[in-house]
Amino acid sequence: MKFFADTADIEEIRELALLGLLDGVTTNPSLIKKSGRDFKQTIAEICAITKGPVSAEVVATDVEGMLREAAELTPIAPNVTIKVPLTLAGLKACRYLSEQGTMVNVTLCFSPAQALLAAKAGAAFISPFVGRLDDISQDGLTLIADILRIYRNYPQFNKTQILVASIRHPLHITESAKMGADVITAPPSIIKQLVKHPLTDKGIEQFLSDWAATGQKI
Ligand code: E4P
């Protein structure tokens, strides 16, 4: 399973890269707003840290506008992935860009039917939002299971990777891994939470105290 950082914060991205836990990055307009930084400059800096896919989202809602924005973003680096919304215009832009050899991440997916369309449009990634479904009392992880089941039925859909997004806690990651999702994108704070277990902390405490009692040094 690949780990993408869902952030536009350069320091957080750098830290995950140093930990060996960074396979790519996803950004969106809200994350760019949060960073308070210039969009294209931020994407360029992220692409200098990772060779993995870096999603940059278009904000136009019509096909021509999406393609115009994609033409501004793709020259930034070879690993720029164009993120388009799951609308008919987004799917049309996805088809065109994919045929030109640009990786496309189709975002804001909330149903298996939408995921089916993204695969047919040649998307490199489909981004189902598990947390936002949980937020409205629908089971986000069931959507992942449904998409996996559909894609596994059709070998031609193999090229569309399932990128589990809108992750709220470590269980979203481990459950997605159990099902075999290709990628998760999560805030780095949640990725780092995966290391946590109270028995690990307790065990270290006990070993250190026993070691101190031996009076030895390594
Ligand atoms: C995915 O690419 C999105 O950037 C992201 O996962 C959205 O998550 P949120 O629901 O926490 O905003």
- Identify the architecture of domain 2-214 in CATH: Alpha-Beta Barrel (3.20)
pLDDT digits (tens, 9 = 90+) for 99-152: 999 999 999 999 999 999 999 999 999 999 999 999 999 999 999 999 999 999
| CA–CA distance, 161 with 172 (Å, rounded to integer) | 17
Mean pLDDT over residues 38-46, rounded? 98
Output phi, psi for 200, to 5 deg.
Answer: -65, -50
pLDDT band at 204 (very low <50, low <70, confident <90, very high): very high
For the chain, which residues make up each domain, given as ranges?
2-214
Q: Which of 166, 184, 189, 190 to mutate to test the pocket of ligand 1 (most atoms within 8 A of CB)?
A: 166
Residue with CA at minimum distance from ligand 1 atom 1: 165
| CA–CA distance, 126 with 85 (Å, rounded to integer) | 10
Residue with CA at minimum distance from ligand 1 atom 7: 166
Which residues belong to the active site? Answer: 83
Counting from 1 in the atom list of ligand 1, the atom nearest the Cα of 6 is 4
Mean pLDDT over residues 86-90, rounded? 98
Mean pLDDT over residues 33-58, rounded? 98
Q: Residue 135 has what pLDDT?
A: 98
185 Cα–ligand 1 center, Å: 8
pLDDT band at 206 (very low <50, low <70, confident <90, very high): very high
Output phi, psi for 21, to 5 deg.
Answer: -115, 20
Q: Residue 86 has what pLDDT?
A: 98
146, exposed or middle or buried, with CB in 10 Å at 0-12, 13-18, 19+?
middle
| CA–CA distance, 2 with 4 (Å, rounded to integer) | 7
| CA–CA distance, 180 with 163 (Å, rounded to integer) | 11
Q: Residue 126 has what pLDDT?
A: 98
Q: Residue 36 has what pLDDT?
A: 98
Q: Residue 33 has what pLDDT?
A: 98
pLDDT digits (tens, 9 = 90+) for 179-198: 999 999 999 999 999 999 99
Mean pLDDT over residues 167-175, rounded? 98
Nearest to 81 by CA among 118, 116, 51, 38: 51
Q: Residue 63 has what pLDDT?
A: 98
Report the interhelical angle of 39-49 vs 10-18 (nearest 10°): 10
pLDDT band at 177 (very low <50, low <70, confident <90, very high): very high
pLDDT digits (tens, 9 = 90+) for 7-40: 999 999 999 999 999 999 999 999 999 999 999 9
Q: Residue 207 has what pLDDT?
A: 98
127 Cα–ligand 1 center, Å: 9
Ligand 1 neighbours, Cβ below 6 Å, are: 6, 26, 28, 107, 127, 129, 131-132, 165-166, 185
Q: Residue 184 has what pLDDT?
A: 98
Three-state SS at 169: coil
